[in-house]
Amino acid sequence: MDALKNITLRVAGIIEESIVDGPGLRFVLFLQGCHTHCKGCQNPQTWDFEGGTLVSAEDILSRVQGDPLVHGITFSGGEPFEQAQALVPLAAELKRRGYHLMAFSGYTLEQLLRKEGCQELLELLDLLVDGPFVEEEKSLELRFRGSRNQRILNMAATRESGWSPVLDELNGPVER
Ligand code: SF4
């Protein structure tokens, strides 16, 4: 895959099959490095931009494809959007192959739209969980989110609305 040649990502970790990081069975890529430093962050080891390991985008694609049960990929962190430009060719290739794409960010959609180099990745996503983790807003009742201020955005509808944030139905209460 030529577009992926020579692209490396700084990765904090990988979970090859997860049911808690988005809808369905997903491959989760945790990107290393985060400037947000939320109080109460569960993964402070992902903050260091010199930490983690370098993994080639080609490697990640072949690992995703190696599991026929996986239909979605989640970019988590750390802060995936600090590596947005390096992620775009991989995300575009996964999208082309029919995978459902989701990302978490400590930035809000509004901040990402103003942040350099993030637009292309936003164009490719199906879901975005946005905003920092706020300890005072923490709840265990939320699906895929740690705190109430975070939003699960339906990105197709958000793009269609001219980038006004549109909440996905997954924001609703967790069924028990
Ligand atoms: S954005 Fe995510 S990784 Fe970064 S500090 Fe906040 S919770 Fe932790």
pLDDT in tens, 1-16: 788 989 999 999 999 9
Residue type, 158: T
User: pTM for this structure?
Assistant: 0.96
Q: Does residue 154 lie in a domain region?
A: yes
In this prediction, residue 91 has a pLDDT band, given cuts at 50, 70 and 90, of very high
**Is 90 exceeded by the pLDDT of residue 69?**
yes
Q: Does residue 176 lie in a domain region?
A: no
Is the CB of 41 within 6 Å of ligand 1?
yes
Distance 38 CA to ligand 1 centre (A): 5
Q: Does residue 53 lie in a domain region?
A: yes
CATH number of the domain that residue 139 is part of = 3.20.20.70
What is the position in ligand 1's atom list of the atom closest to the CA of 35?
4
Q: Does residue 62 lie in a domain region?
A: yes
Structurally, how many domains does the chain consist of?
Answer: 1
Q: Does residue 161 lie in a domain region?
A: yes
- The whole domain housing 153 covers 2-170
pLDDT in tens, 110-162: 999 999 999 999 999 999 999 999 999 999 899 999 999 999 999 999 999 99
Q: What is the pLDDT of residue 53?
A: 98
Question: Is residue 85 within 8 Å of residue 141, measured between CB atoms?
Answer: no
Distance 127 CA to ligand 1 centre (A): 18
Q: Does residue 77 lie in a domain region?
A: yes
Q: Does residue 49 lie in a domain region?
A: yes
Q: Does residue 164 lie in a domain region?
A: yes
What is the position in ligand 1's atom list of the atom closest to the CA of 146?
7
**In the structure encoding, which two tokens stand for residue 133, read together?**
């983790």
What is the rounded distance in angstroms from the CA atom of residue 99 to the CA atom of residue 46? Answer: 25
**Is 80 exceeded by the pLDDT of residue 172?**
no
pLDDT in tens, 17-60: 999 999 999 999 999 999 999 999 999 999 999 999 999 999 99
Is the CB of 133 within 6 Å of ligand 1?
yes
Is the CB of 131 within 6 Å of ligand 1?
no
How many CA atoms lie within 13 Å of 120's alpha carbon, on the beta-carbon side?
Answer: 13
CA-wise closest residue to 127 among 147, 99, 162, 146: 99
